[in-house]
Structure 1
Amino acid sequence: MAVPKRRTSPMKRDQRRAQHDKITAPNVIPCPNCGDVMLPHRACPACGFYKGRQVTKGKAEEIE
């Protein structure tokens, strides 16, 4: 059975563990209808369009 030849240092241990908690920025794309930023595969929160169809009321329409 394989065993470690050297003890893992605290720095190497912490570097390994830090990769699991790494924060990534959300992937945002411009809305093809209004140009506002939106998350992919979701309806645009500003105009309510998804894949060229209006599926929800946008925030701009709710304010009016």
Structure 2
Amino acid sequence: MAVQQNKVSKMRVRIRRAANRYAGVQPTNCTNCQAPCLPHRVCLKCGMYGGKQVTTPKTDKKA
């Protein structure tokens, strides 16, 4: 098992870890309707995924 030669300060550790921070899920545009949607998910507006109709799109019914 490796043993450190010198103490690594909190600042040095935090600077190193800051480079690997999580950016979060970046939304993309649907290739069919250009609506923002999450990657590798069915578009909620048009119901398309991978160029195929997977679900029927949800419509807003106003009473």
Normalised to the residue count of structure 2, the TM-score between the two structures is: 0.62
Q: Residues 50 and 2 of structure 1: is their aligned pair in 2 closer, same or farther, counting only changes over 3 Å?
A: closer
Alignment root-mean-square deviation, CA:
2.6
Aligned to 2:12: 12
Ranges in structure 1 where 5+ consecutive residues have no aligned partner:
none
1:57 aligns with 2:33: no
**Which secondary structure state, in structure 1, belongs to the residue aligned with residue 11 of structure 2?**
helix
Report the alpha carbon displacement of residue 47 of structure 1 after superposing the two structures with TM: 1.1
- Structure 2 unaligned spans of 5+: none
> Greater helix percent: which structure?
1
Q: Report the number of matched residues.
A: 61
Aligned pairs for 1:24-39 (under 5 A) are: 24-39=23-38
TM-score by length of 1: 0.61
TM-aligned CA distance change 1:51 to 1:16, over 3 Å: same
Q: Segments of 4+ in structure 1 off by > 6 A? A: none
Instruction: Return the letter of the residue paired with 1:26.
Output: V
Aligned residues with identical type, % of pairs: 39
